[in-house]
Amino acid sequence: MSKTPDLTHTRNIGIAAHVDAGKTTLTERILFYTGASYKIGEVHDGAAHMDYMFEEQSHGITINSAVTRATWQDHLIQVIDTPGHVDFTIEVERAMRILDGCILVLDGVRGVEPQTETVWRQRNKFQLPALFFINKMDRPGADFDHSMQSIRKRLKGEPVPITVPLPEQNAVVHLIDKSTIYFDGEHGEILRQEPCDDATWNKLSEQREALLLSAAEFDESLADMVLADEEPATEAIWAALRTGTLAGKIHPCFGGTALHNQGVQPVLDGVIRLLPSPLDRPAALAHIQDGAEETVQLDAKDSLVALAFKVQLWDGRRHVYVRIYRGQLRPGDKITALQPNGQQVHETVARMFEVDAGKKSRLDLATAGEIVLIAGLRQVTTGDTICNPEHILVLERIDTREPVLSLAVEPQSGEDEEKFLEVLDKVQQEDPTLLLEDDPDTGQRLLRGMGELHLQIVLERLQREFNLQIRSGKPAVALRETITRSTTAECLFQPHYDPKINDQELKARVVLDVEPLERGSGTRIIMEPEIEPEGQRLNQAQLETIEEALETTLSTGPIEAAPLEDLELRVTMIELFGKASTTDALQAAAVRACIKAVQQADPCLLHPIMAAEVVVPEENLGQVLGDLQARLGVILDTTKWKESATISCEVALDKLLGYTTDLRSMTQGRGHFSTIFKRFDRV
C-alpha cells in the first residue's frame, strides 16, 4: 500500500564524501535517530545497514548507492548513501542527477580531499543545495575552522558555521539559538539542551558574527538589525539561511563525530529547515521528439515523466530505480522509453517497491517527487526517460565515463562460455562504466573498468552471485591516440574495373585536413567540402554516411588500435565521377584519406593521467617525493599540516599500479593516497 506524499514535507537527499570520511556511519545514525532502524550498524564490523552487499561488508566500503526512507519532524526524507571511492563515481553521478539536495561529509582532520572535489563538481553540475557535516572531530589534529577554510579555498564555496563541536564535552554549540546540545544515552539519542556558558560563547563570537553576516545578505530587515547590533529572531535567521542555501550562495556547516553519536540530530534539523523540497527545485527541462522543449512541472495529475537512473539485479532479476518528475505510476501501467539511438521501447510495469537498502516492500501507487524501484522493465536502461506512450519526452541523460583499466578475462571452463557472456551482459546493464569487448589483435576478451578495485569487485561478484569461475590477466591501462601536427591527405579511390567481373565502375576522390587540438577537446569532424565538378551536389544523407565512416575509422588508431581523440578532421573537397561515385566509393575514398592523414601527422599514444593526493608522515616526505618523481609524476604542490604532509601531483595510471603496497612500505603503513582521473595525455 502507499500514500501520496506531501511534497512540501519531502526531502530527497544524497550523502556523499571522499572515501573513509564517514558518510555511511552518518547515514546509520540518521536511520537510528529517525526510527527507521532499531540498531546502529557499524562499517568496521561489516554490519552497516546501508552496506548490505557481501563485497561492501568484506571490504568495508560502499560500492552501490543505497536508497532508504526515514521520517523526521513529520517530514519524509528519502536518502541515497553513495560510494566514496573514485572507482564507483558513476554511482554518485546518477544519484546527484535525481536528488534535490545533499550532505557532503568531510574528515575533520583532512578537510576537503580529491574525491570531495569530484563530488563537488557533480553537485555543481546539477546545482544542488548542499550542507556540510565536518566529521571525526574527536580525532587528534581535527580542526573545524581549518576544514571550513578548505571548503573556501579548494571548492570556492561559502561555508557558514551552524554547530561548532565540543568533542571533549560530548556536545556541540548551536550558533543560531546560543545553546549547547549534549548527546546523552548509550547512543547519543537523548538530547540535553542548555544555554551556552559565557566563556565558550565568547570564544565563538567570530563564528556567530560570520553566521549573522552571511544570513543578513539574504534579508534586508535582518541586515538592518545586525548592523544596529540588535538580536534577530532565530526564525528570521533560519529563513535567511534557507534562502541563501537554496540559491547555492552559502553552504551551512555542522560539526560532530558520527561514530561517537555527536552532532547528528542538528544535521537532520538542518536538512528539514535548509534543504529544498521537490517543489522548491527548478522545473526539469525535457525535449519533444520534434526538437521543441517542454518544462516539466512537478504535478501528480499531469502525464507521466520519470527518469531511470539505475539498473540493479535483485535476487537475480532485473529491477530499475526511477525518480518520478511528473504524474503517477501504478503496477500494470504501459510506459514508453526513448533510448539514445532514438528507438522507442514499450513496456509494462509489473511491480513497484519502496526500498530500504537491501529490502523492498510493495507499492501500489507512486507519484511525482518519489524514488521507487520497478520490476518488469526488460529494456529500459540507465538514463532513459519513462513517459506516457501518448506524450513522449526526453529528459537530460546521465553522463558516464570511459573505463581506464582493463583485464583479459575468460571462464575457467569452456562449458561456461554462454553463461559467462550472459552474466557479463547483466552486470554491464547495472554498471555503465563496465565494458566487455574483444581485443582485435589477440582475440582475448577484455573487461574494462574504472580501476583495480572496481574490476576486483566485479570478479568477486561473478564468483559469489553467479558461481562463475574466471581466469584473469594482469591489469592494463586503457590508451588513446592522437596526432602531433597538421597535415593534408587525399585519396583517389579507383579499383581495377573489369565489366566481366565487376557490376559497376567505382571512382571517387576525397581531400581532407587533420590538425591536433588541446587535451580534452575530443574529436571533431567537419563536413564542409567543395564539390567538383562545379554544379554537382551531395545530399545530406550521403554526407552523413561519409561522416559515419570517418567516425568508425577514428575509433582505431595506427599504433595500438586505440581510439583517436583531440583532433579535428575537416573534409575540404570531394570530386565526383558520375555514376561511378557511389556511396561505397565515397566512403572508401574518405576512409583511406583519413588513414593516410593520421599516419602522416606523427601519431602518438596518450596515457590516462591521474590527479593524485598522497598524505604521508612529514618524516617520509622526501622519500615519497623521490619515488613519485621516479614514476615520472609531476609534483604540483606540497603542503604541511600538523605532523603530516600532502603531496598533490599528476601521475600516469600505469605507474600507480601496485602503488598502495609500495607506499605502505615507505611509510610503515601510515601513508595513504587517492586518485581521480584527470585526462588522457602524453607521458
Per-residue pLDDT at 674 exceeds 90: no
Predicted pLDDT of residue 207: 94
Per-residue pLDDT at 133 exceeds 60: yes
- Give the whole-angstrom CA distance, residue 333 versus residue 329: 7
Interaxial angle between packed helices 452-466 and 417-430, expressed in degrees from 0 to 180 and rounded to the nearest 10: 120
Per-residue pLDDT at 49 exceeds 70: no
Poorest-confidence range of 12-21, 108-117, 265-274, 282-291?
282-291
Compare 278 and 658 and report the one with higher pLDDT: 278
Predicted pLDDT of residue 267: 96
Predicted pLDDT of residue 4: 60
pLDDT digits (tens, 9 = 90+) for 192-209: 999 999 999 999 999 999
Q: In CATH terms, are 405-477 and 605-681 the same topology?
A: yes
Per-residue pLDDT at 550 exceeds 80: yes
CATH 3.30.230.10 fits 481-601, yes or no: yes
Predicted pLDDT of residue 334: 94
Task: Write out 244-287 in H/E/C secondary structure.
Answer: HHHCCCCEEEEECECCCCECHHHHHHHHHHHCCCHHHCCCEEEE
Percent of the chain topping pLDDT 70: 94
Per-residue pLDDT at 295 exceeds 50: yes
pLDDT digits (tens, 9 = 90+) for 435-466: 998 876 677 888 998 888 888 889 988 888 88
pLDDT digits (tens, 9 = 90+) for 205-228: 999 999 999 999 999 999 888 888
CATH of 284-395, one of 2.40.30.10, 2.160.10.10, 2.170.190.11, 2.40.10.220: 2.40.30.10
Predicted pLDDT of residue 498: 64
Compare 174 and 494 and report the one with higher pLDDT: 174
- Give the whole-angstrom CA distance, residue 526 versus residue 547: 8
CATH 3.60.20.10 fits 605-681, yes or no: no
Predicted pLDDT of residue 91: 83
Predicted pLDDT of residue 228: 85
Per-residue pLDDT at 174 exceeds 70: yes
- The fold of 7-202+254-279 is Rossmann fold (3.40.50)
User: Which stretch of DSSP H or E encloses residue 311?
Assistant: strand 305-314
Poorest-confidence range of 2-11, 242-251, 328-337, 398-407?
2-11
Long-range contact list for 454-462, CB < 8 A, 24+ apart?
Answer: 454/87, 454/88, 454/405, 455/405, 455/407, 457/55, 457/59, 457/63, 458/427, 458/431, 458/434, 459/407, 459/409, 460/55, 461/55, 461/427, 462/423, 462/424, 462/427
pLDDT digits (tens, 9 = 90+) for 461-499: 888 888 999 999 888 888 999 999 999 999 999 887 666
Mean pLDDT of the 53-69 span: 72
Question: How far is CA 476 from each of CA 422, 565, 584, 608, rounded to the nearest angstrom?
Answer: 24, 20, 37, 11
Mean pLDDT of the 62-67 span: 74
pLDDT digits (tens, 9 = 90+) for 519-538: 888 899 999 899 998 878 88
Task: Write out 591-652 in H/E/C secondary structure.
Answer: HHHHHHHHHHCCEEEEEEEEEEEEEEEHHHHHHHHHHHHHCCCEEEEEEEECCEEEEEEEEE
pLDDT digits (tens, 9 = 90+) for 344-366: 899 999 999 988 767 788 999 99
Predicted pLDDT of residue 93: 86
Predicted pLDDT of residue 3: 57
Per-residue pLDDT at 154 exceeds 80: yes
| Residue 502 binned pLDDT confidence (cut-offs 50, 70, 90) | low
Residue 99 near residue 93 (C-beta atoms within 8 A): no
Mean pLDDT of the 266-278 span: 95
User: Could you tell me the three cell numbers for 232?
Assistant: 534577530
Q: What is the DSSP letter of 111?
A: B
pLDDT digits (tens, 9 = 90+) for 376-427: 998 998 889 999 988 888 888 887 777 888 889 999 888 889 999 999 998 8
Predicted pLDDT of residue 568: 96
| Residue 1 binned pLDDT confidence (cut-offs 50, 70, 90) | very low
User: Could you tell me the three cell numbers for 466?
Assistant: 553467479
Per-residue pLDDT at 47 exceeds 70: no
Mean pLDDT of the 7-18 span: 90
Predicted pLDDT of residue 501: 56
Q: Write down the domain spans for the chain.
A: 7-202+254-279, 284-395, 405-477, 481-601, 605-681
Mean pLDDT of the 616-640 span: 92
For 405-477, CATH gives: 3.30.70.870
